[in-house]
Structure 1
């Protein structure tokens, strides 16, 4: 099994331009915010090998709590290529409206849902605003 950083490099390398360059730049920006964070790579397949989501790269660690009281370790920030661009996931936020209310207007051409910020290219958005949203998420979920 290749190391996680190799899997991440391969995943980025497989993306078409300009997505490849944008994802690498985003990766560097997140590592700048979280220099010693745990890295995750999920290939998007479930236990039986069936594809259930786009592959994604995760950063950091938090305890996600389920409704039944169970918890599991998961990442705080995630990025994934999608058909039209890139998704950034800011996981573990209590208030599902906060990202859109606090950062949506200043982000630029992005779609913001409860915990996901989607955009076509980094040039369509304010990277500084995106970093502020990620910093907020990291602070909210720091264990």
Structure 2
């Protein structure tokens, strides 16, 4: 199964209204990043043990670790979780930036260094979420 099929299947397995919200987020991100590289991480480690929720990733960047190692990873990610949906914006160096810049206008969402978590799209300002994603894409495309 290719990545597009894995993404389609993952979204289809979500219960409503999360399924519709995930589908809409997928559409929004593809509109922001039309020629993007797609990723699907099933949440399992190399031994097959579940270590995280599955993730859909968009884009590509080189992450640099403190020890000097680097690895390719996606810029934006989305994942369903037990309480809603998480949107990951990876690669922003200032871990306070997302919360300080977007938390106030987002609506009912929790914001950490790289994650915006909410119950449903209807609970947040989608335009502000798009602005945060565009900002992250710009910062990690340099």
TM-score (norm: length of structure 1)? 0.98
The alignment status of 1:133 with 2:126, answered yes or no, reads no
Give the superposition deviation at 1:53. 0.3
Q: Distance in 1 between matches of 2:69 and 2:46?
A: 20
Query: Deviation digits for residues 50-81 of structure 1, max 9, x if unmatched?
Result: 10000000000000001110101000000000
Aligned to 2:107: 108
Aligned to 1:36: 35
Secondary structure class of the residue paired with 1:7: helix
Aligned to 1:119: 118
Secondary structure class of the residue paired with 1:114: coil
The alignment status of 1:25 with 2:24, answered yes or no, reads yes
Structure 1 stretches of at least 4 aligned residues deviating more than 2 Å after TM superposition? none
- Point out where structure 2 has 5 or more consecutive residues left out of the alignment: none
- Point out where structure 1 has 5 or more consecutive residues left out of the alignment: none
Give the superposition deviation at 1:105. 0.3
Query: Deviation digits for residues 7-52 of structure 1, max 9, x if unmatched?
Result: 0000000000000000000000000100000000000000010100
Residues paired across the two proteins, number: 142
TM-score (norm: length of structure 2)? 0.99
Q: How well do the aligned residues superpose, as a CA RMSD in angstroms? A: 0.5
